[in-house]
Amino acid sequence: MKFAKNSISYSLIFVLLIFVVFSYLRVIGQMSLDLYFSFLFAVAITTFNFILGVLSIKLSYKKSTKKFLILFLGGMAFRLLVMLIAVFICLKFLELRGNSFIFSVFFLYIFYQIIEIFYVIYQNK
């Protein structure tokens, strides 16, 4: 149960640490501005998605199994749609590096999904 309470904090601290490292690399001139913004927007989109996921888990917790599945999986489908639209808008209208942006979104999305799964599993114990 302790992991479930701290997993969200640990994951946000991990992403914040990566952000600080990338910001430092940008300040000392080792990273280009477009690469930095690609990572920054990927972090913003996936972290917002993660926060919505945690809220949907907390909202659906201690409800019946049917309501939990509807809220959690329906929320996941809605979040994927919102994330797809956000990624499309970022790629279409902002001058981001496509490869690094997509890779960052993919990596952070998988990372946050693993944390969400652990959170749901350990929430029930």
**Is residue 90 within 8 Å of residue 41, measured between CB atoms?**
yes
pTM strictly above 0.75:
yes
The pLDDT assigned to 121 comes to 81
Q: In the chain, which stretches have pLDDT less than 70?
A: 1-5, 124-125
Query: In this predicted model, what pLDDT tens digit does every residue of 8-22 receive, in sequence order?
Result: 778 888 888 988 988
The pLDDT assigned to 2 comes to 59
Distant-in-sequence, close-in-space partners of 116: CB < 8 Å, separation ≥ 6: 50, 53, 54, 57
The pLDDT assigned to 109 comes to 93
In total, how many domains does the chain have? 1
The CA distances from residue 19 to 10, 30, 52, 95, in Å, are 14, 14, 20, 20
The pLDDT assigned to 76 comes to 87
**Is residue 19 within 8 Å of residue 43, measured between CB atoms?**
yes
The pLDDT assigned to 84 comes to 93
Tokens of 96: 């981001």
The pLDDT assigned to 45 comes to 93
Tokens of 10: 């640990």
What is the residue range of 28's domain? 2-123
The pLDDT assigned to 8 comes to 76
